[in-house]
Amino acid sequence: MTMLFVWGLALAQLMLVAAMGVAVWRIVVGPRAQDRILGMDTLYLNGMLLIVVFGVRTGSPLYFEAALIIGMLGFAATVALAKFLMRGEVIE
């Protein structure tokens, strides 16, 4: 790997960690439940991308599978919480 690629991956990881910090702030401070759900959605997405960047850095395919599982579970959780806010129940 070239040095520019290594520095780019390190910078991407730092930026994703910073974005995760902002998402946690939105979850804690968010005045409404919709803001907290949006923060949670952003948090799992940034966590998934952090794992993907780590997988690119190490070259191991195991991290990509973990990121796929996080993406699927996060999407299902976001849909369930949005449905709960709209109707008051998840399963009808």
pLDDT digits (tens, 9 = 90+) for 12-65: 999 999 999 999 999 999 898 889 999 999 999 999 999 999 999 999 999 999
- Residue 13 contacts by C-beta under 8 Å, 6 or more apart in sequence? 50, 53, 54, 57
Identify the CA nearest to 27 among candidates 36, 37, 38: 36
Q: What is the pLDDT of residue 83?
A: 86
Could you write out the DSSP letters of every residue in 5-27? HHHHHHHHHHHHHHHHHHHHHHH
| pLDDT given for residue 42 in this prediction | 93
Residue positions counted in the chain: 92
What number is the average pLDDT over the span 58-83? Answer: 91
Domain assignment of residue 79, yes or no? yes
85 has pLDDT over 70 = yes
Judge contact between 39 and 27, C-beta under 8 A.
yes
Query: Is 73 within the bounds of a domain?
Result: yes
Structure tokens at 33: 């439940």
Domain membership of residue 69 (yes or no) is: yes
pTM: 0.85
Tell me the residue range of the domain where 37 lies: 12-87
